[in-house]
């Protein structure tokens, strides 16, 4: 039985990367909303999935808020960490994803979440980029795909922003996201090709490479309402990166469980949704089968992630001092 003092001590090691769980679950929720739409079904699961994602966000926000109130130095330490720093925008991304999930159910709630998420994400982006520019301790080996997280959040803004009536704000965030995607993609390939391999616990973050073009495709369609040449380039870039990473499956299957496994979830959700959008735009059954197939696989992956995360927490492999 865990005593109050043990709980208090574990809170100080509560990682900011936990919010990646909300991204994965909310991405799954949006994926099932889209799947039901293209299949002309109503499984009645949308309120339950939205409620689960929202509840998880509130629980994690409460726990991290407690950490901030009681163990502020540990939060500051994460803010200065070259890798953990990039997970802080998962908070604002979670709000933006919840805004998208709430859009068909409660537009007024969606607007509040979108406003809060976009505003907070701008602040996080400005802070993170400022740290990147003025750092005094980052090395090339610190670079990994988690650095894409602040960029991905910017690209998400138009998905709910356009239907909520904010096209110019959406173009601003989309432009920022695309700018940093190109910059960071160049740096990450330089790091992977010419420096030591990414450490094992961060290997799953390679799946984050899928997210910028996949989310960019979804957002760009919202902005221009047309499947033009750039939209094709974004989608097929995401498809290639997905195929590339799937060819590395044996390497990923050998990895032990880390919280970074949640990096598999949101990028695959984004690609699944992008594929279903391609079906709507082209009418090709291939994209429908691909999108639904990816979503089905993602549902199984998230079930595995939830079970493994629960086991890791109960066995004190998470929320404990790093070794």
Q: Residue 82: give its domain's CATH number.
A: 1.50.10.150
Taken in order 36, 42, 48, 50, the sign of the CA dihedral is: positive
Residue at 299 is within a domain: yes
Instruction: Provide the residue-wise pLDDT of the chain in tens; the chain has 323 residues.
Output: 455 555 556 888 888 889 999 999 999 999 999 999 999 998 889 999 999 999 999 999 999 999 999 889 989 888 888 788 889 999 999 999 999 999 999 999 999 999 999 999 999 999 988 888 887 677 777 778 888 888 878 999 999 999 999 999 999 999 999 999 999 898 888 888 888 778 888 888 889 999 999 999 999 999 999 999 999 999 999 999 999 999 988 888 888 888 888 889 999 999 999 999 999 999 999 999 999 999 999 999 999 999 999 988 888 777 666 64
Given a contact cutoff of 8 angstroms between Cβ atoms, the answer to whether 207 and 264 are in contact is yes
Taken in order 93, 99, 102, 104, the sign of the CA dihedral is: negative
Residue at 4 is within a domain: no
Residue at 126 is within a domain: yes
Residue at 195 is within a domain: yes
Residue at 322 is within a domain: no
Reference 205, options 236, 155, 248; nearest CA is 248
Residue at 38 is within a domain: yes
Residue at 321 is within a domain: no
Residue at 103 is within a domain: yes
Give the domain extent around 158.
9-314
Residue corresponding to tokens 């450490």: 199
Predicted TM-score of the model (pTM): 0.92
Into how many domains does the chain fold?
1
């Amino acid at each position: 039985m865990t005593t109050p003092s043990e709980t208090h001590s574990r809170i100080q090691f509560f990682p900011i990367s936990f919010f990646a769980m909300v991204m994965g679950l909310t991405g799954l929720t949006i994926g099932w909303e889209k799947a039901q739409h293209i299949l002309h079904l109503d499984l009645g699961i949308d309120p339950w999935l939205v409620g689960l994602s929202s509840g998880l966000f509130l629980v994690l926000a409460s726990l991290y808020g407690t950490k901030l109130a009681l163990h502020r130095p540990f939060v500051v330490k994460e803010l200065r960490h070259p890798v953990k720093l990039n997970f802080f925008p998962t908070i604002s991304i979670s709000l933006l994803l919840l805004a998208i999930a709430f859009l068909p159910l409660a537009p007024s709630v969606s607007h509040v979440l979108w406003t809060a998420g976009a505003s907070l994400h701008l602040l996080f982006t400005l802070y993170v980029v400022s740290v990147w520019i003025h750092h005094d301790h980052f090395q090339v080996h610190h670079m990994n795909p988690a650095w894409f997280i602040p960029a991905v959040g910017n690209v998400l803004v138009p998905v709910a922003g356009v239907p909520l009536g904010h096209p110019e704000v959406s173009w601003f965030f989309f432009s920022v996201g695309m700018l940093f995607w190109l910059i960071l993609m160049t740096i990450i390939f330089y790091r992977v090709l010419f420096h030591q391999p990414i450490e094992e616990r961060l290997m799953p973050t390679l799946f984050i490479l899928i997210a910028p073009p996949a989310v960019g495709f979804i957002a760009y369609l919202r902005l221009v309402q047309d499947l033009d040449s750039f939209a094709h380039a974004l989608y097929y870039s995401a498809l290639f990166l997905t195929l590339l990473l799937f060819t590395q499956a044996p390497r990923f299957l050998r990895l032990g469980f880390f919280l970074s496994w949640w990096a598999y979830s949101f990028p695959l959700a984004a690609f699944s949704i992008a594929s279903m959008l391609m079906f709507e735009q082209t009418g090709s059954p291939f994209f429908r089968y691909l999108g639904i197939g990816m979503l089905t696989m993602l549902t199984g992956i998230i079930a595995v992630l939830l079970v493994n995360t629960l086991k890791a927490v109960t066995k004190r492999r998470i929320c404990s001092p790093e070794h």
